Amino acid sequence: MCRKRDFGRLDVEYDYDAISAKLTRAPLKSRGARDVWRYEEFLPVQQKFAVKLGEGNTPLIRAERLGKKLGIGKLYLKDETRNPTASFKDRAMAVGIAKAIEIGKNDVAIASSGNAAASLAAYSAAAGIRVHAFVPVDAAIGKIAQLMLYGATIVRCKQEKEGEDATVQAMLRAVDKFGYYPCPSFGPFNPYQVEGPKTIPFELNEQHKWDEIDWIFVPTGSGCLLTGVWKGLQDLRRVGLVDSYPRLVSVQPKGNQALTKAINGHLRFDRIVPEAYPESVASGLLDPFPWDGDSALAGIEKTRGEGVSVDDPAIMQAVKDLAAYEGVFAEPSGAAGVAGLRKLLKEGVVGADDTSVVLVTGSGLKEPDKVMSMLPHKP
Ligand X SMILES: Cc1ncc(COP(=O)(O)O)c(C=O)c1O
Positions in the binding site for ligand X (CB under 6 A): 87, 113, 115-116, 185, 219-225, 284-285, 287, 331, 333-334, 361-362
Strand pairing report for 74-79 and 60-62: antiparallel
- Beta-bridged to residue 134, according to DSSP, are 111, 155
Torsion angle of the four alpha carbons 348, 349, 353, 357, in this order, in degrees rounded to the nearest 10: -130
Distance CA 262, CA 248 (A): 15
- Identify which of residues 82 and 239 has a Cβ nearer to ligand X in the complex: 82
Least Å from the CB of residue 88 to ligand X: 7
Q: Edge-to-edge strand order for the sheet containing 355-360?
A: 60-62, 74-79, 355-360, 215-219, 247-253, 306-310
Distance CA 139, CA 265 (A): 31
| Cβ atoms of 299 and 263 closer than 8 Å | no
Kindly give, in sequence order, each residue whose CB lies less than 8 Å from that of residue 156, ignoring residues fewer than 6 positions away.
Answer: 135, 136, 137, 139
Give the other-Cβ count within 10 Å of 26's Cβ: 7
| Cβ atoms of 77 and 61 closer than 8 Å | yes
- Identify which of residues 241 and 341 has a Cβ nearer to ligand X in the complex: 341
Least Å from the CB of residue 181 to ligand X: 19
Instruction: Tell me the residue type at 142.
Output: G
| Cβ atoms of 189 and 291 closer than 8 Å | yes
Distance CA 49, CA 252 (A): 35
- Beta-bridged to residue 87, according to DSSP, are 362
- Beta-bridged to residue 153, according to DSSP, are 132
Closest CA to 344 of 256, 234, 215, 167: 215
- Identify which of residues 239 and 336 has a Cβ nearer to ligand X in the complex: 336
Closest CA to 184 of 92, 50, 81: 92
Distance CA 118, CA 126 (A): 13
- Identify which of residues 239 and 258 has a Cβ nearer to ligand X in the complex: 258
